Chains A and B, each alone.
Chain A
Amino acid sequence: MLQFSVRRLLAALPILLGITVIAYFLTRTIPGDVVAVMLGTNADPQVAKLMRHNLHLDQPVVLGYFDWLSGVLRGDLGQSIRSGLPIGQDLAVRFGRTAQLTVAAMLLALALGIPVGMIAAVRRNRLTDQVISIVALLGISTPDFWLGTLLILTFSLQLGWLPPAGYAAPGDNLALFLKLLILPTLTLAFQIMGIIARFTRAAMLEVLGQDFVRTARAKGVTETRVLYRHALRNAMIPIVTVIGLNVGFLLGGTVIVETIFGWPGIGSLALTAINQRDYPVVQASVMLFALTFTVVNLIVDLLYGVIDVRIRYA
């Protein structure tokens, strides 16, 4: 297991490095003089020069990258052009809030998507299966920004049951935090739930047709045990893979969902930074998203070894 883990970790290193390259160069290609845009054309040349230096803009691009990277590795993500504050601290606080939202959404999507997908597989081609498949497909097809808007209109503005937007730290006001969490979580979870339900159904159908399931039934194992112990365990690999890949989907979704619901996480930060051309913040947040995705998928890779022992030695 150790050797397997180390091999996977080493394979991820070039990808992590590549992510920093893309994040850096993408934002360095912004056309026009960023400093002139920021300070206005008749700014003090002394100030402009200092700002250029702080942003590594007075260096060749490649040197700037290595300077920036060495800062990143030491935990220094630079400063926001807009607020002048260091990015790292703000990003850490916001990362926590985004994690609260995405973890809640993923848990909800798993809690609903896996059982519902299993039911659909067991009741294949019956009415239950058809209803579930249609709802799952609707989940994939409904735009999150529309769903979020409709939820706010219905549950906040019409019925007045829940606050429309905002954030409260769970330590300060747990009840309010939970109330504020409901709508954005539903919005984020609906899409992922659809994807997970569809994959669970497909994976279960494949497994349920195999010989070992028939053998288990024939030797008198109860149906629940057949489904959970024999079938689901073997269907877990594709399901876990899909969960890992959809973390990227979920993180991308936070950009819109956090903006609609006023949730002060990284998604809304990234969008504001892009709109304001605050590119050190864009660099840092885009990179953090990609790193999170890569790390989650690395964990998924390692989970394969736990779920299916054969993979460790492959």
Chain B
Amino acid sequence: MSGALREATSRPLPQWRRTGLKLLRNRSLVIGSVIVLVMVICALFAPWLAPYDPSLQDTDHTLAAPSAHFLLGADMFGRDQLSRIIYGTRLSFEVSLVSVSIALLLGTLLGLIAATTRGWLDNVIMRLMDMLFAFPFLLLVLAIMAAFGTTLINAMIAIGIVYTPSFARVARASALSVMEQGYIEASQGLGAKKARIVLRHVLPNIRGPMIIQTTLSLAFAILAEAALSFLGLGAQPPTPSWGLMLNEGRDFFTQASWLAIFPGAAITVAVLGFNLLGDGLRDVLDPRLQS
């Protein structure tokens, strides 16, 4: 009885606290957010966090093993690996944010046009997306870069173009289901213009799937940048880039295994962080998974 009484008298938690509790209970979301947050801090405050200048060559300590001096060891030029990894977050973020923004803007635009016009334009856009989708993504990025030159800017554009079809598909599918809703019909009935309906009603309501897609694409964009730099087609020396570090250290892996282990681990943790965040967001934002 006392339980029921307490339940009846205690005030319900306010909405924001209930939402907050739900978010905190999602382990993927929490771990993913922490990893991403640490990365953001590393990228923003690299000069203060890194123990050394990332390009400082300490020639007395080339290939120094991990120690109190060099926590993650030093490379063949005596550069501190920890500092290079911390600075490497900057490049990772820069490339993935720019490329995913390109894909997000272009993909959402194309997807919305396809969903709202239907008919032949829809067909043309989506078949074009299918064609782009048919090329293995890394190969298409490489081919675009071969055509336009292997610079970091081109790498970002190429990764952006390659991810556009996924965004267009998600945007179109979500927009189509939103446009079946009653409030769209109501808005049409009130005489709202098409542009207004898309901007005021459709766009805000496809936010969820687009956020999930963006987070997961950031994970893949980090992988793509690392892969390009590993192949020598992305960042150029002496830029601190995780993929490039693996490429440069290749000949020394047998003597200095830390050159192989830590930059790769950094990539894996970063990608894992965005994947966890994306998974967690999907659990929270996708209404179909609420049970």
A and B part of one assembly: yes
6 interchain pairs, CB-CB under 8 A: A141-B271, A143-B243, A143-B271, A145-B227, A150-B264, A259-B231
Interchain nearest-CB distance for A159 vs B (Å)? 13
Mostly, the A contact residues are helix
Q: How far does the alpha carbon of A15 sit from the alpha carbon of B135 in the complex, in Å?
A: 11
Assess whether B64 is interfacial by the CB under 8 Å rule: no
Q: Which residues of B contact A270 (CB under 8 A)?
A: 139, 142
Q: Which residues of B contact A160 (CB under 8 A)?
A: none
- Name, among B130, B254, B267, the residue most crowded by chain A CB atoms within 10 Å (CB to CB): B130
In residues 245-301 of chain A, which contact B (Cβ within 8 Å)? 248-249, 251-253, 255-256, 259, 267, 270-271, 274, 277, 279, 282, 286, 289-290, 293-294, 297
Assess whether B191 is interfacial by the CB under 8 Å rule: no
In residues 12-26 of chain A, which contact B (Cβ within 8 Å)? 14-15, 18-19, 22, 26
Assess whether A45 is interfacial by the CB under 8 Å rule: no
Q: How far does the alpha carbon of A30 sit from the alpha carbon of B254 in the complex, in Å?
A: 39
Contact indicator per residue, chain B 254-283, by CB within 8 Å of chain A (1) or not (0): 100100110010011001100110010000
Q: How far does the alpha carbon of A294 sit from the alpha carbon of B132 in the complex, in Å?
A: 11
Q: Which residues of A contact B149 (CB under 8 A)?
A: 31
Assess whether A138 is interfacial by the CB under 8 Å rule: yes
Assess whether B219 is interfacial by the CB under 8 Å rule: yes
Contact indicator per residue, chain A 32-70, by CB within 8 Å of chain B (1) or not (0): 000000000000000000000000000000000000000
Q: How far does the alpha carbon of A251 sit from the alpha carbon of B139 in the complex, in Å?
A: 9
Measured CB to CB, the nearest residue on chain B to A130 is B27
A293–B138 touching, CB < 8 Å = no
Q: Chain B: residues with CB nearer than 8 A to chain A?
A: 127-128, 130-140, 142-149, 219, 223, 226-227, 230-231, 243, 246, 250, 253-254, 257, 260-261, 264, 267-268, 271-272, 275-276, 279
Assess whether A215 is interfacial by the CB under 8 Å rule: no
Interchain nearest-CB distance for B92 vs A (Å)? 12
Q: Which residues of B contact A294 (CB under 8 A)?
A: 134
Q: Which residues of B contact A30 (CB under 8 A)?
A: 146-147
Interchain nearest-CB distance for A291 vs B (Å)? 8
Assess whether A29 is interfacial by the CB under 8 Å rule: yes
Q: Which residues of B contact A282 (CB under 8 A)?
A: 143, 146
Q: How far does the alpha carbon of A23 sit from the alpha carbon of B145 in the complex, in Å?
A: 13
Q: How far does the alpha carbon of A169 sit from the alpha carbon of B268 in the complex, in Å?
A: 34
Interchain nearest-CB distance for A31 vs B (Å)? 7
Measured CB to CB, the nearest residue on chain B to A287 is B135
A289–B135 touching, CB < 8 Å = yes
Measured CB to CB, the nearest residue on chain A to B142 is A274
**A150 in contact with B260 given A27-B143, A145-B246, A293-B136 (CB within 8 Å):** yes
Q: How far does the alpha carbon of A249 sit from the alpha carbon of B162 in the complex, in Å?
A: 13
Interchain nearest-CB distance for A235 vs B (Å)? 16
Q: How far does the alpha carbon of A270 sit from the alpha carbon of B218 in the complex, in Å?
A: 26
B142–A29 touching, CB < 8 Å = no
Assess whether A5 is interfacial by the CB under 8 Å rule: no
B127–A157 touching, CB < 8 Å = no
Interchain nearest-CB distance for A1 vs B (Å)? 24
A146–B142 touching, CB < 8 Å = no
B142–A143 touching, CB < 8 Å = no
A248–B272 touching, CB < 8 Å = no
B135–A286 touching, CB < 8 Å = yes
Q: Which of B137, B142, B144, B219 contacts A271 (CB 8 A)?
A: B142
**A15 in contact with B268 given A27-B146, A286-B143, A289-B136 (CB within 8 Å):** no
A255–B139 touching, CB < 8 Å = yes
Q: How far does the alpha carbon of A143 sit from the alpha carbon of B267 in the complex, in Å?
A: 7
Q: Apart from A143-B227, A157-B253, what are 12 other A-B pairs with CB-CB below 8 Å?
A: A22-B132, A26-B143, A29-B147, A137-B275, A138-B268, A142-B264, A143-B226, A143-B271, A256-B227, A256-B230, A274-B143, A286-B143
Q: How far does the alpha carbon of A26 sit from the alpha carbon of B158 in the complex, in Å?
A: 12
Q: How far does the alpha carbon of A144 sit from the alpha carbon of B254 in the complex, in Å?
A: 19
Assess whether A87 is interfacial by the CB under 8 Å rule: no
Q: Which residues of A contact B138 (CB under 8 A)?
A: 252-253, 255-256
Q: Which residues of B contact A19 (CB under 8 A)?
A: 131, 134-135
Q: Which of B136, B144, B257, B268 contacts A248 (CB 8 A)?
A: B136
Q: Which of B148, B223, B257 contacts A143 (CB 8 A)?
A: B223
Q: Which residues of A contact B139 (CB under 8 A)?
A: 251-252, 255, 267, 270, 286, 289
Q: Which residues of B contact A277 (CB under 8 A)?
A: 146
A15–B276 touching, CB < 8 Å = no
B272–A22 touching, CB < 8 Å = no
Interchain nearest-CB distance for A199 vs B (Å)? 13
